[in-house]
């Protein structure tokens, strides 16, 4: 597992070295929007691939520090944050048949993205 992590880190680094994002703008915006709205998930902190992707996004789209971020990325993030918050608010009172405390109040695209890419189940 460690070797796969190093290989992925090197792969991201190779893209960064030539100034080309390995993660497309739309996917990057979706990842950051889900993190903003549903980032209260401990699994995010412990997922090495997710952390590497976020670091790569920060670097390639100038989201770190005092830089001016990529304007197109910012517009997409706003759009996806709005969509996620609206979905959460609309489904806030949905019945919970299982009786679980944590409910999944995220659209299918967000659940699918984080499950397939990182193996993370988004909750609350």
Q: What's the confidence (pLDDT) of residue 95?
A: 57
Residue whose tokens read 């608010």: 89
Contact 47, 8 (CB under 8 A): no
Residues of the chain with pLDDT under 70: 1-2, 92-104, 124
Compute the distance between CA of residue 88 and CA of residue 78 in angstroms, rounded to an integer.
15
Q: Tell the residue number behind the tokens 């950051």, with chain if given.
A: 32
pLDDT, residue 124, reads 59
How many angstroms separate the CA atoms of 102 and 72, rounded?
33
Please give the Cα distance from 40 to 122 (Å, whole number): 9
Let me know how long the chain is.
124
Nearest to 85 by CA among 105, 103, 66: 105
pLDDT in the model for residue 1: 55
pLDDT digits (tens, 9 = 90+) for 58-79: 999 999 888 899 999 999 999 9
The closest alpha carbon to 54, from 40, 33, 38, 68, belongs to 33
Instruction: Provide the pLDDT for residue 105.
Output: 79
Residue position matching structure tokens 């993660």: 23
């Amino acid at each position: 597992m460690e070797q796969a992590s190093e290989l992925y880190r090197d792969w991201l680094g190779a893209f960064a070295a030539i100034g080309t994002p390995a993660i497309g703008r739309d996917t990057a915006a979706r990842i950051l929007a889900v993190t903003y709205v549903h980032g209260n998930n401990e699994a995010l902190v412990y997922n090495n691939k997710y952390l590497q992707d976020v670091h790569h996004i920060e670097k390639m789209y100038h989201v770190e520090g005092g830089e001016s971020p990529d304007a197109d990325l910012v517009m997409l993030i706003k759009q996806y944050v709005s969509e996620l918050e609206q979905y959460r608010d609309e489904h806030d009172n949905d019945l919970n048949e299982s009786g679980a405390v944590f409910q999944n109040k995220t659209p299918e695209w967000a659940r699918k993205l984080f499950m397939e890419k990182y193996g993370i189940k988004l909750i609350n």
